[in-house]
Amino acid sequence: MDKKELLRLSDTYGCPLYVYDTDIITNQYKKITKAFSKVKNVKINYAVKALSNINILKVFNSLKSGLDTVSIQEVKLGLLAGFKPKDIIY
């Protein structure tokens, strides 16, 4: 994401503004899964406590990540983001 795009977003939505680059998130997740690809039965789980933005959770769900939660609220958020109960650790 370049500077012009970030300026356009801030003009459109105002500041402060949080912007997440899902391409970077996806690439980092793929690097992690590749690093552990030879480990049998490994499941990468995203910790909701790191960032509980539902749209980011949807990205991780689309990547077939699991979800690591520490509260019922995080479990509910994961379900709203489309995670199956079997993919949520509580």
pLDDT in tens, 56-68: 999 999 999 999 9
Give percent of the chain above pLDDT 90.
Answer: 98
Length of the chain (residues): 90
How far apart are the C-alpha atoms of 2 and 42, rounded to whole Å?
35
User: pLDDT band at 22, cuts 50/70/90?
Assistant: very high
Number of domains into which the chain is organized: 1
How much is the pLDDT for 74?
A: 98
User: Hey, which residues does 68 pair with through a beta bridge?
Assistant: 47, 89
Reported as a single tens digit per residue, the pLDDT across 26-56 is 999 999 999 999 999 999 999 999 999 999 9
Specify the CATH number for the domain of residue 80. 3.20.20.10
Q: Is the pLDDT of residue 1 over 90?
A: no
Q: Residue 30: which domain range?
A: 3-89
